[in-house]
Amino acid sequence: MPGSKEPQYQKKPIVVNETAGTKFYCLCGLSENQPYCDGSHKGTNCSPVRVEIKEDRRVAYCGCRMSKELPFCDGTHTYL
């Protein structure tokens, strides 16, 4: 892992009023701009997840990174 940053996982979704377009979801948890990749994964074996948002809408991104529907929350955090 680059530097001494700790992954920012949480047991709840990251809810965003999302705009349409291409987004890159941070899978490593190291980004300081959650839920989006800021390049902090460099040097790890993680890569961001590309997601196409077709229209402006409220999105619940997975905060625990355990969802089976990544990058979206599927409620898995309630069992952790």
Contact yes or no for 63/10 (Cβ under 8 A): yes
Does the protein bind ligand FES through residue 28 (CB under 6 A)? yes
For residue 31, the Cα-to-chain-centroid distance in whole angstroms is: 9
Q: Which of 13, 14, 23, 30 binds ligand FES (CB under 6 A)?
A: 30
- Of 9-17, 23-31, 59-67, 71-79, the window that binds ligand FES (rule: CB under 6 A) is 23-31
| Buried residues in 1-11 as b, exposed as e (16+ CB within 10 A) | eeeeeebbeee
What is the binding site for ligand FES (CB under 6 A)?
A: 26-28, 30-31, 37-41, 46, 48
